[in-house]
Amino acid sequence: MDDAHLFSKRDYPELRDAVRRLCADFPATYWRTLDEERGYPTDFVGALSQAGFLAALIPQAYGGSGLPLRAAAVILEEINASGCVASPAHAQMYIMGTLLRHGSEAQKQRFLPGIASGDVRLQAFGVTEPDAGSDTTMLRTRAVRSGDNYIVNGQKLWTSRAMHSDLMLLLVRTTPIEHCARKTDGLSTLLIDLRTAKGAGLEIRPIRTLLNHHTTEIFIRDLEVPVDNLVGQEGEGFRYILDGMNAERILVAQECIGDGHWLVAKAAAYASERKVFGRPIGQNQGVQFPIARAYMELEAADLMARKAAHLFDHALPCAAEANMAKLLASEATWKGAEAAMQTYGGFGFAQEYDIERKWREARIYQTAPISTNLILSYLGQHVLGMPRSF
């Protein structure tokens, strides 16, 4: 039995099989080498683009497949469940949603076909700043109108994949917060063409982190951005970003579940094969039960992620479900990672088994794209009606 797919799924079987076949061309050695070199999986992302997987959510009118969010989530899940890494490509799916839902028809015609074909990469999302953190309304990056351009100044942090993107969606403040009735007003979204912006007012610096996540910080000084690159209405950017975050959390939750199933499958297979003191270690309840519990919690998280995707695809409110799916998936996957590491013992630390690499990848889900505590505070306030906790 293929231990990486010990736990078969029920929906979109043909799509799952197609993703697995593509992933089979990118074995563990490919990812291990990239991890050691801090490299970007250019060939893998290219293969995903050529196969049309990254254009799943783009309507057929613009060269995509026009699939529902659930189908896109399945693609990301299967990538990680195959032992590959979806994060270098996942943003190509959800960032374009802001353009698709709020951009003009001219902008859609201009950008979406290239994104769908893979000729243009929209992988970077410039939101977080050093001093604002998760308090997005307090960001300081400013865009001031000057004729047919905006003049942009500021700094962004934790902007992943900016060095491997052609375009970046940038959240800026176009109206000073002191002039706004609400602090969520006065924010706008701009599409930045990184191909021309780099060296012309925009600088990208890589940040070395625990895992190979291609993270950067961005410095912007007097960058000219055409007014035509404003997505939607000026001052409405916060609403647009929140709209896209629900999709992001649902997709990342399913991606996370894929990692969890890979880890649990590896742990179950190793526990069945590895013999110590004359018997398989998986025969011991102390080894077996944590693996079984992680599997159970992954299945429960999967149900919440499915519910959230269903609501999103039917244009129904889904913020609570998207947040819960992301939290439940992150915690279940981390339990799977811990169970795998404990099951493999010392071998879990050896790079050749890939457990330590996936263990590192699994940890980020509790922090990004939103931390566990912020999700809990959202549920406490907006779902349970308790006082705001911050």
pLDDT 10s digits, 276-299: 999 999 999 999 999 999 999 999
- Whole-model pTM above 0.85? yes
Q: Give Cα 348 to chain centroid, integer Å.
A: 26
Q: Is 97 exposed, middle or buried (0-12, 13-18, 19+ CB in 10 A)?
A: buried
pLDDT 10s digits, 308-348: 999 999 999 999 999 999 999 999 999 999 999 999 999 99
Mean pLDDT of the chain: 95
Query: Cβ distance 365 to 252 under 8 Å?
Result: yes
Query: Cβ distance 141 to 156 under 8 Å?
Result: yes
d(CA 86, CA 223): 31
Which pLDDT value is given to residue 242? Answer: 85
Q: Which amino acid is at 6?
A: L
Q: What CATH number does the domain located at 122-235 have?
A: 2.40.110.10
**What are the extents of the domains in the chain?**
3-117, 122-235, 239-383
Which pLDDT value is given to residue 4? Answer: 44
Q: Which residues are catalytic?
A: 248
Query: Cβ distance 22 to 51 under 8 Å?
Result: yes
Architecture of domain 239-383: Up-down Bundle (1.20)
Higher pLDDT, 10 or 289: 289
pLDDT 10s digits, 168-227: 999 999 999 999 999 999 999 999 999 999 999 999 999 999 999 999 999 999 999 999
d(CA 126, CA 202): 12
- Mean pLDDT score, 229-252: 94
Which pLDDT value is given to residue 2? Answer: 47
343 sits in the region (left: phi over 0; alpha: psi -120 to 50; else beta) called: alpha
- Mean pLDDT score, 223-241: 96
**Homologous superfamily of 3-117 in CATH?**
Acyl-CoA dehydrogenase/oxidase, N-terminal domain (1.10.540.10)
